[in-house]
Structure 1
Amino acid sequence: MGMSVTISAATEQDAEQILKLQFLCYQSEAELYGDYSIEPLTQSLASLKAELAGGTVLVAKLGDEVVASVRGAVDADGTARINKLIVHPRMQRHGLGGRLLDAIEAKLSEGSAAKSFQLFTGHRSEHNLQLYRRHGYEPVSRQRVDERLTLVTLAKGAHAGAFVASA
Structure 2
Amino acid sequence: MGMSVTIAAAAEPDAEQIFRLQYLCFQSEAARYGNYRIDPLVQSLDQVREEVADDCVFVARLGDEVVGSVRGRLTEDGAAAIGMLCVHPRLQGHGIGARLLGAAEKALAEQRGATTYRMRTGHRSESGLRLCRKLGYRAVGRSQGADGVEMIVLEKPAAAYAATA
State the TM-score, normalizing by the size of structure 2: 0.93
Q: Which residue of 2 aligns with 1:71?
A: 71
TM-superposed deviation, 1:18: 0.4
C-alpha contact (below 8 Å) 2:4/2:62 kept by paired residues: yes
TM-superposed deviation, 1:77: 2.4
**Aligned amino acid, residue 94 of structure 1:** H
Question: Structure 2 vs 1, CA of residues 82 and 109 (structure 1 numbering), >3 Å: closer, same or farther?
Answer: same
**Aligned amino acid, residue 62 of structure 1:** L
> In structure 1, how many angstroms separate the alpha carbons of the residues matched to 2:121 and 2:144?
12
- What SS does the aligned partner of 2:84 have? strand
- Structure 2: runs of 5+ lacking an equivalent: none
- What SS does the aligned partner of 2:159 have? coil
> In structure 2, how many angstroms separate the alpha carbons of the residues matched to 1:145 and 1:121?
10
Q: Which residue of 1 aligns with 2:163?
A: 162
**Aligned amino acid, residue 81 of structure 1:** A
Q: Which residue of 2 aligns with 1:39?
A: 39
**Aligned amino acid, residue 75 of structure 1:** T
TM-superposed deviation, 1:75: 2.1
C-alpha contact (below 8 Å) 2:70/2:104 kept by paired residues: yes
Count of residue pairs brought into register by the alignment: 163
TM-superposed deviation, 1:42: 1.2
Q: Which residue of 1 aligns with 2:88?
A: 88
**Aligned amino acid, residue 30 of structure 2:** A
The CA RMSD measured in Å over matched residues stands at 1.8
Q: Which residue of 1 aligns with 2:21?
A: 21
- What SS does the aligned partner of 2:163 have? coil
> In structure 2, how many angstroms separate the alpha carbons of the residues matched to 1:74 and 1:141?
19
- What SS does the aligned partner of 1:16 have? helix
Question: Structure 2 vs 1, CA of residues 3 and 87 (structure 1 numbering), >3 Å: closer, same or farther?
Answer: same
Q: Which residue of 2 aligns with 1:149?
A: 149
- Structure with the higher fraction of residues in helix conformation: 2
> In structure 1, how many angstroms separate the alpha carbons of the residues matched to 2:102 and 2:51?
20
State the TM-score, normalizing by the size of structure 1: 0.92
